[in-house]
């Protein structure tokens, strides 16, 4: 992730997302006027492994009138350090996030997990009144993508056609249990014509460092989840979620087993429609 300087890059017809992977120029979408200026927090996983999800997030936001900017000094939200028990290091990273996004009108991330971490900043700085208040303000302006589209912008239809598509939607633990994101992505997928299949809502077993420290348990949880996919969501055309970590876990499991649908970020489906599904198949089930 870029981490030097405090410049802010506007993403427009002639711009690009200045992250480590090259992205294509974004098509201009006439929204009839800017609704909000959105600062995109791209997240580490989107930067390194899911640039298509970042691109689709930008296009979706612009489709509904948002001016999207990318604060070039952004890095990590601090969740890996926080989850590992390194509170001091997590506060260092979180303090940088507050410096970079402190003046943002709205912050949107294609991740429930990273958004939930930002929402945890007030507690992280509970012993520092100044940073606690700043963290509280920033957390209140930080949203997961589908949550922002539905709850803030009032979007009811994403503007793409997914008619007949059978979607196995996976709730990431942080999006569902920390942010309450459940109905929003399902509503957008259903409104686009997709059939959202009822499926096991348990954890995929990723959990960031959890999958590294306890790989056997992580894999067992993943296998259980994928077994339920074969029973409860048989015939699914695509597996999707708000979170790339979960998609890497589940998509990787499907790819190694040589079966099942491709795993894609919900932003890709909502922005690209069936084209995203075709691209996902060529990647062997990976995001």
Same domain, 19 and 145: yes
Same domain, 89 and 47: yes
Where a domain ends, among 152, 179, 197? 152
Q: Is there a domain that residue 61 lies in?
A: yes
pLDDT tens digits for 79-138?
A: 999 988 999 999 999 999 999 999 999 999 999 999 999 999 999 999 999 999 999 999
* pLDDT value of residue 287: 52
Q: Is there a domain that residue 26 lies in?
A: yes
Q: Is there a domain that residue 71 lies in?
A: yes
Where a domain ends, among 124, 152, 180? 152
Q: Is there a domain that residue 160 lies in?
A: no
* pLDDT value of residue 280: 58
* pLDDT value of residue 3: 45
Q: Is there a domain that residue 36 lies in?
A: yes
Same domain, 114 and 20: yes
Same domain, 226 and 171: yes
Mean pLDDT of 179-196: 96
Q: Is there a domain that residue 161 lies in?
A: no
* pLDDT value of residue 7: 52
Q: Is there a domain that residue 47 lies in?
A: yes
Give me the DSSP letters along the chain: ---S---EEEESTT----SSS--PPPPP---SS---EEEE---HHHHHT-HHHHHHHHHHHHHTT-EEEEETT----SHHHHHTT-HHHHHHHHHHHHHHHTT-SEEEES-HHHHHHHHTHHHHTTT-HHHHHHHHHHHHTEEEHHHIIIIIS--S--S---TT-EEEEE--HIIIIIT--SHHHHHHHHHTT-EEE----S--S-TTHHHHHSHHHHHHHHHHHHHHHHHHTTT-SEEEES-HHHHHHHHHHHHHHT-S--EEEHHHHHHHTHHHHHHHHHTTT--
Where a domain ends, among 130, 152, 174? 152
Same domain, 137 and 258: no
Same domain, 140 and 51: yes
* pLDDT value of residue 144: 98
Same domain, 12 and 138: yes
Same domain, 144 and 223: no
Same domain, 12 and 126: yes
Q: What's the mean pLDDT when you consider all of the chain?
A: 85
Domain count, the chain: 2
Domain boundaries, position 133? 8-152
Same domain, 121 and 19: yes
pLDDT-derived band at 274, boundaries 50, 70, 90: confident
pTM for the structure as a whole? 0.84
Same domain, 19 and 143: yes
pLDDT tens digits for 224-270?
A: 888 877 766 678 899 999 999 999 889 888 888 888 899 999 999 99
Q: Is there a domain that residue 70 lies in?
A: yes
Same domain, 119 and 24: yes
Mean pLDDT of 210-225: 83
């Amino acid at each position: 992730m870029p981490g030097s300087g405090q410049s802010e890059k506007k993403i427009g017809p002639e711009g690009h997302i200045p992250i480590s992977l090259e992205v294509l120029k974004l098509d201009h979408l006439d929204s009839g006027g800017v609704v909000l200026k959105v600062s995109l927090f791209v997240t580490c996983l989107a930067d390194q492994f899911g640039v298509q999800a970042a691109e689709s997030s930008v296009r979706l936001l612009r489709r509904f009138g948002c001016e999207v900017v990318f604060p070039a000094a952004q890095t990590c939200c601090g969740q890996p350090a926080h989850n590992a028990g390194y509170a001091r290091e997590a506060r260092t990273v979180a303090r940088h996030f507050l410096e970079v996004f402190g003046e943002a009108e709205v912050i949107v991330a294609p991740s429930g997990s990273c958004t939930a971490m930002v929402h945890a900043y007030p507690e992280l700085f509970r012993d520092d009144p100044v940073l606690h208040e700043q963290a509280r303000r920033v957390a209140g302006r930080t949203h997961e993508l589908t949550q922002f589209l539905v709850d803030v912008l009032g979007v009811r239809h994403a503007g793409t056609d997914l008619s007949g598509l059978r979607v196995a939607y996976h709730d990431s633990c942080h999006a569902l249990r920390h942010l309450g994101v459940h109905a929003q992505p399902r509503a957008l997928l259903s409104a686009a014509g997709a059939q959202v299949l009822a499926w096991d809502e348990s954890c995929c077993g990723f959990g960031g460092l959890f999958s590294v420290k306890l790989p056997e348990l992580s894999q067992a949880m993943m296998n259980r989840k994928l077994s339920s996919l074969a029973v409860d969501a048989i015939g699914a055309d695509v597996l999707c979620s708000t979170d790339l970590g979960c998609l890497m876990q589940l998509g990787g499991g499907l790819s190694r087993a040589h079966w099942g649908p491709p795993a894609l970020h919900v932003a890709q489906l909502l922005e690209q429609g069936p084209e995203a599904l075709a691209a996902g198949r060529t990647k062997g089930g990976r995001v």
